[in-house]
Amino acid sequence: MQGFIKTLFGDKYTLGVAGVCIFVAVALLHSPAAILAGAVLPVTLLGGAAYLARR
Amino acid sequence: MMGALIATYLTATVEWVEAYTIVLAVALSIGWPRALGAAGSALLLLAVLTTIGSLILTMIHDLTILQFIIGVFLTLFGVRWLGKAIARGAGLKKLHDEDAEFAGLRARADIHEARAAWWIAFNGMLLEGLEVWLIVVALGVQTHHTVAASLAAAVALLVVCVAGILARKPLAKVPENTIKFTVGSGILSFGTYWVLESLGYQWPLGDASLLALFAFYALGGLALIRLYRFKSAASGVV
């Protein structure tokens, strides 16, 4: 069961990275700078992948 | 659609290669019929899970919610695989070694006991197959090609089986990290695209934005690998 959950959601760090990135994108989409979301989400996710790689 | 099928095929190839190593190690202890029986049972369970997963997702009638859920799952999967591939490419983590994995399994005491060995093969096949299941269901439902995505995973299984029969040893020469890096970039592109689109964002290039996202993640990932290698080398010199 643990393997199943980890496969679906990853560990807490992966969840944290994806959660923060999507939260930032949602916040941007509800701001006057909504057009930037398409650039900011990929940049934050790549930053998240870099963080996960260092762990 | 083609991109989704290629991503499914490549994901499945990596996972089936890892599953083959486990089944091979078990087969040498309890024989091929039992080991294949365990692997077949796991595959059957995965097929049932694929059907159930697809049915549950297709019951969500709001396409925006469906796209968001699938996008989030793909983002979680993609960022994990890309992170792992960057770490391995930069030497921060050991590359996945099928020969070492095989030796480790053969050294396990319980692999020579029939029931325990059967469970090792069953669990191994199931856990490796779960990632294939996730991709088949997520990409298949979202692109309305679940059958085609399942077939791509089945073709990958067939190719790995044939390679395994010919090699009769772990498939250590498969460039797993390169495939994981490519698939991680691809899946993360799909995830990013669908998450934002479901939230109302209009991609300036339409579907072509997927290619731009893939290029961004792949080139960014390669740059990170170089940066981390450079940092490791610099700290080694000091």
Torsion angles phi and psi, residue B173, rounded to 5:
-85, -5
Interface residue A53 vs chain B (CB under 8 A): yes
Q: What pLDDT is stored for residue B174 in this prediction?
A: 83
Neighbouring CB atoms inside 10 A of B121's CB total 29
pLDDT tens track, chain B, 238 positions:
788 889 899 999 999 999 999 999 999 888 999 999 999 999 999 889 888 888 888 888 888 998 999 999 999 999 999 999 999 999 998 888 888 888 888 888 777 788 899 999 999 999 889 888 888 888 888 778 888 998 999 999 999 999 988 888 888 888 889 999 999 999 999 999 999 999 999 999 888 999 999 999 999 999 999 999 998 888 765 5
pLDDT at A24 over 70: yes
Mean pLDDT across chain B: 89
A20 touches chain B (CB under 8 A): no
More confident of the two residues A4 and B83: B83
Instruction: Tell me the C-alpha distance between B21 and B200, whole Å.
Output: 44
Report the alpha-carbon distance of residue B212 to residue A21 in Å, rounded: 19
Nearest CA in chain B to A33: B201
Task: Strands of chain A (E only): list them.
Answer: none
Per-residue pLDDT band for A8 (boundaries 50, 70, 90) equals: confident
> In chain B, which residues have their Cβ closer than 8 Å to the Cβ of A41?
192, 195-196
Res. A42: pLDDT tops 80: yes
How far is it, in rounded angstroms, from Cα B5 to Cα A18? 24
How many other C-beta atoms are found inside a 10 Å radius of the C-beta of residue B6? 14
DSSP B95: P
Q: Is the pLDDT of residue A3 over 80?
A: no
Q: Is A29 on the interface with B (CB under 8 A)?
A: yes
Instruction: Report H helices in A1-55.
Output: 2-9, 12-29, 37-54
Query: What digits encode the pLDDT tens for the residues B2-43?
Result: 888 898 999 999 999 999 999 999 998 889 999 999 999 999
Chain A: residue whose CA lies nearest to B231: A54
B200 touches chain A (CB under 8 A): yes
d(CA B91, CA B225): 9
Is A34 part of the contact surface with chain B (CB cutoff 8 Å)?
yes
Cross-chain Cβ contact A49/B228 below 8 Å:
no
In whole numbers, what is the pLDDT of chain A averaged over residues?
92
**Can you tell me the distance from the alpha carbon of B19 to that of B16, in angstroms, rounded to the nearest whole number?**
5
Q: How far is A52 from chain B (nearest CA, A)?
A: 5
Is A52 in contact with B80 (Cβ distance < 8 A)? yes
Contact call for A41 and B192, based on CB within 8 A:
yes
Cα distances (Å, whole numbers) of residue B202 to A35, A41, B194: 9, 14, 11
The DSSP symbol for B1 reads -
Put simply, the answer to whether A42 touches B200 (Cβ < 8 Å) is no
Q: What is the predicted pLDDT for the residue at B237?
A: 58
The answer to whether the CB atoms of A49 and B209 lie below 8 A apart is: no
What residues in B contact A23, CB-CB < 8 Å? none
B229: contact with A, CB 8 A cutoff: no
Judge whether B8 and B77 are in contact, CB under 8 Å.
no
Rounded to whole angstroms, the Cα distance separating B214 from B210 reads: 6
Residue B217: HSE in the Cβ half-sphere, 13 Å Cα cutoff: 34
